[in-house]
Amino acid sequence: MRRVHIQLAPAYDVLIGEGALSQLLPFPGRLALVVDAEVQRLHGERIALQLGDRPREVFTMPSGERNKTLRTAEGLYDWLAANRFERGEAIVSIGGGVSGDLTGFVAATWRRGVAFVQVPTTLLAQVDASVGGKVAVDHASGKNLIGAFHQPRQVLADVGFLKTLPLREMWAGLAEVAKTALLCGDPLFTRTSSTLEALARGQEPLEEVIAGCVAFKAGVVQRDPLEHGERAILNLGHTIGHALETVGGYERFLHGEAVAYGLRASLALSGIPQTSPAWSLVRALRVPPLGRLDVNDVLAAMQGDKKVVGGRIKFVLLDGIGRPRWNCDVPPERVREVVQQLLDGEI
């Protein structure tokens, strides 16, 4: 079992390995389990076995980004009220990034804040979404616009859940791994680049890569917990990625797929040479075709992003592998040019 300690307020551990769920902290009272519907179908018995006789109630959350809304949150609030969950009891999210984001948002606001635990069941959530305390729901005008910072008490990245993850979801998770590798450089960059296909197919152990991503993010978040500066680098590829998700109605692309396209745009905006290994890594990520999207729709969706300041979008750019810059201005005409190139399949 690998352990990454995150020194925030409160401090907590990320445990990475098979059977991590069995290491759940001994919270008083009942557990409010919020379990993704597909995870419950595939792993319900395994979850029950690892939790043993811990007293708990289970809320089954519908799968998919389209359900990360205030309406779903309201249903969870109603369930917590009906079951009389108190402030001293803990909420546990078992699912991917959608479940973790929404459950964390509810935990941050139920009775003005209760303890919650992240049990991420997708690669994307294990390497990124479950760590750092960002919790949110989506709004029709943009992704994650309604949210808070609420750190988990524990993150249990049980790699056993990944055994049933579809290949498409594995590739989506590897987009976030690639993002982190571009930000931090070696040794994660070389390891990811050399084993990408094997990682996707479960032919290479994932614990080391997951731990590397979590450790890098932990360092950034500890230095800038509320994203006043450096933490913004973790948004590499996300400004355009989030816009693609929005234009696609949160159904056409998985989050990681949209980020993979956003990384291409980020490398182009950064002026990274096409011969760079950075391009080789990003192009190796498997993504569905973009289809027919209008550049104006994508640009309009970008204006709804949280990173717009005074009407100007602030980008994360790279001076090279492991050398990110944040809060960067890019001329609007250059942004339009790169987005059009992306939609035309030129980058």
Q: Are residues 255 and 299 located together in one domain of the fold?
A: yes
pLDDT for 306: 67
Active site residues: 112, 134, 176, 217, 227, 231, 235, 238, 242, 255
Q: Are residues 184 and 332 located together in one domain of the fold?
A: yes
Query: Average pLDDT, stretch 127-134?
Result: 94
Supply the range of the domain harboring residue 177: 167-224+234-343
Q: Are residues 253 and 172 located together in one domain of the fold?
A: yes
Average pLDDT, the chain: 95
Tell me the residue type at 223. R
At 154, which CATH number?
3.40.50.1970
Q: Are residues 290 and 301 located together in one domain of the fold?
A: yes
Q: Are residues 148 and 184 located together in one domain of the fold?
A: no
Helix (H, G, I), strand (E, B) or coil at 5: strand
The sign of the CA dihedral 324, 329, 332, 334 is negative
Backbone angles phi, psi at 46, to 5 degrees: -65, -40
Integer-rounded Cα radius of gyration of the chain? 19
Looking at the domain assignment, is residue 229 inside a domain? no
Looking at the domain assignment, is residue 220 inside a domain? yes
Number of domains in the chain: 2
Q: How far apart, in Å, are the Cα atoms of 90 and each of 106, 109, 308?
A: 12, 13, 35
Q: Are residues 220 and 243 located together in one domain of the fold?
A: yes
Between the CA atoms of 243, 246, 247 and 250, what dihedral angle is there, to the nearest 10 degrees? 130
Q: Give dist(CA 123, CA 279) in Å, integer.
A: 22
The DSSP symbol for 159 reads G
Q: Give dist(CA 122, CA 30) in Å, integer.
A: 25
Query: Average pLDDT, stretch 7-33?
Result: 95
At 318, which CATH number?
1.20.1090.10
CA atoms within 13 A on the CB side of 138: 21
Q: Are residues 303 and 263 located together in one domain of the fold?
A: yes
Q: Give dist(CA 106, CA 17) in Å, integer.
A: 27
Say if residue 140's pLDDT is above 90: no
Q: Are residues 61 and 131 located together in one domain of the fold?
A: yes
Contact call for residues 107 and 87 (beta carbons, < 8 A): no
Q: How confident is the model at residue 141 (pLDDT cuts 50, 70, 90)?
A: confident
pLDDT (tens digit per residue) in 143-178: 899 999 999 999 999 999 999 999 999 999 999 999
